Every structure is written in C-alpha cells, then in structure tokens.
C-alpha cells in the first residue's frame, strides 16, 4: 500500500448502501422543497421539487464519500501509530 493510499476500498455493498442513502436524502429534500414550488398541479410540483433536490442529493453523496475516505485514512493513521509505538 502506498503512503497516499487511504485504505478505503469501494465494495458492492458500500455502493448499494450509498445509493440507498442518497435516494432517501433526495426524497427528503423533495418533500422539503414541495411547498416552495409555485404550482397547484401535484405532478408538476413533484417534478420540480425532485429536480431541485438533485443537486442537494448529489452534494450529500460527495460529502458522504469524502467522509468515508477521511475516516478510513484516520483509522489507518491510528493503526500505524499503534504499530510504531509497540
């Protein structure tokens, strides 16, 4: 493993979990944005609220990936520090 490797590996399980979490967050943002859409047709309101929630859900996904890499790197540094202290 190189020094620049954080130790984080993408697995199929983690990709599925990340996708499910991102869809849940997208749905919650859609519900949050619905009252702010200026229309009375339910389909139009849902479409524009969902469309507006896409960047917010994308930002959540990016933040989740950055968090996972940072947490894995910190765990790796902690393990290396414990190994060097022995």
* pLDDT score recorded for residue 44: 97
pLDDT at 18 over 60: yes
Q: Which tens digits make up the pLDDT trace of 56-75? A: 999 999 999 999 999 999 99
Using CA atoms, how far apart are residues 62 and 59, in angstroms rounded to an integer?
5
- Own/partner contacts of 69-76, CB < 8 Å, gap of 24 or more, are 69/6, 69/8, 70/6, 72/6, 72/7, 72/8, 73/6, 73/7, 73/8, 75/7, 76/6, 76/7
* pLDDT score recorded for residue 3: 63
What proportion of the chain, given as a percentage, has pLDDT over 90?
A: 72
pLDDT at 8 over 90: no
The mean pLDDT value for 73-86 works out to 86
Length of the chain equals 86
């Amino acid at each position: 493993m190189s020094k620049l490797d954080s130790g984080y590996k993408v697995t199929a399980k983690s990709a599925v979990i990340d996708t499910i979490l991102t869809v849940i967050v997208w749905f919650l943002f859609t519900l949050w944005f619905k009252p702010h859409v200026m229309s009375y047709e339910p389909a139009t309101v849902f479409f524009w609220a969902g469309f507006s929630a896409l960047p917010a859900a994308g930002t959540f996904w990016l933040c989740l990936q950055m968090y996972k890499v940072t947490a894995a790197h910190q765990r790796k540094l902690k393990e290396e520090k414990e190994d060097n202290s022995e």
